[in-house]
Amino acid sequence: MRIRSFLHFCVTIFIVSALPGISSAQSGNSKATFYFAVSAMASPAPTLVHFTEFQNYLSGKLRTSVSLKQRRTYEEINDLLAREKVQMAFTCTGGYLSGRKAFGLELLAVPVMNGKTSYRSYIIARQENPARSLADLKDSVFAFTDPLSLTGYIYPTARINQMGLVTTDFFQKIFYTESHDKSIEAVATGLAEGAAVDSLIFDALRKQTNSFTDRLKIIEISEEFGMPPVVVPSGLSVKLKRKLLKVLLSMDDDPEGLKVLHSLGMDGFVLPEPELYRSAILLRKQIHE
């Protein structure tokens, strides 16, 4: 997998449309427009070439124009989903769980990466830090990514709550970086003493030369969680859901689609297994802050 391509994928992609566009698309109007909105799991890459490839591919399959928009946080994306201005989204697992509970957000498909549909949270610290687990980071400065991030917030928060504490009492100071690579950089450069990050991004960065990860160690690894999924609002028509699902599931059988997948560091898409997100759901229920 090319690291840059993987990080391009990790800048989470969202396909957003205005309400009039949804009804036009469902009626087969070729003039309807879909919009990519982007919310970063990793900081936005200097080029959007791989997003352009996916955009062009989707445009051809849906027979409509596709444009790109950006969103900064998962909460902003969930707001669009709740107001049914989003037709399909690659969202974080925590964002999906929040939307599922709040307004019935639905799973559509699950990305496959490195042959797997799961990932983990890593608790990280600098190499010279004597800490050997999250518990050893008490009274330290800690970097979270996003309040809805499963790996970057929910997992460490649930662990601290299991100790009978809340994060504001456990840590000396907390702050949000809004992306996993920024959390990694914050620990490596001394802005934070620890952080919780997405295993996919950390492992990809670790393969680079002169990476910030060279200065870091993993002191705790979570159980496996279901991969950040592709979701759709509950109000989307069955016809459009099936059309979108057909496009995603058939990409790895299409030479052009396979090229786009590889540029994003993905193997393909599959239907979600019923138990895939059970561990994440149970973990989220343990939070009491």
Summarised one tens digit per residue, pLDDT across range 185-199 is 999 999 999 999 999
Q: Is 265 helix (H, G, I), strand (E, B) or coil?
A: coil
Annotated domain spans of the chain: 3-113+228-274, 121-222
Considering only CA atoms, which of 203, 215, 197 is closest in space to residue 122? 197
Cβ pair 283, 158 in contact under 8 A: yes
pLDDT for the residue numbered 38: 59
Q: Is 199 helix (H, G, I), strand (E, B) or coil?
A: helix
pTM of the model: 0.86
CA–centroid distance for 278 within its chain: 17
Considering only CA atoms, which of 133, 74, 96 is closest in space to residue 225? 96
Measured between alpha carbons, how far is 234 from 214 in angstroms, rounded to an integer?
43
* CATH value of 3-113+228-274 in 2.40.37.10, 3.30.70.270, 3.20.20.70, 3.40.190.10: 3.40.190.10
Measured between alpha carbons, how far is 220 from 142 in angstroms, rounded to an integer?
14
pLDDT in tens, the chain (289 residues): 445 555 555 544 444 433 333 433 343 444 577 776 656 666 554 335 666 788 889 889 988 887 776 677 899 989 988 988 878 888 899 999 999 999 999 999 999 999 999 999 999 999 999 999 999 999 999 999 999 999 999 999 999 999 999 999 999 999 999 999 999 999 999 999 999 999 999 998 999 888 999 999 999 999 999 999 988 999 888 998 898 999 999 999 999 999 999 988 899 999 999 899 999 999 999 999 8
* CATH value of 121-222 in 2.60.15.10, 1.10.1740.10, 3.30.930.10, 3.40.190.10: 3.40.190.10
Q: Is the dihedral of CA 125, 213, 224, 75 positive or negative?
A: positive
Measured between alpha carbons, how far is 156 from 121 in angstroms, rounded to an integer?
8
Q: Is the dihedral of CA 214, 215, 220, 226 positive or negative?
A: negative
Identical fold between 3-113+228-274 and 121-222? yes
CA–centroid distance for 143 within its chain: 17
pLDDT for the residue numbered 17: 38
Summarised one tens digit per residue, pLDDT across range 121-135 is 999 999 999 999 999
Contact residues for 275 (Cβ-Cβ < 8 A; gap 6+): none
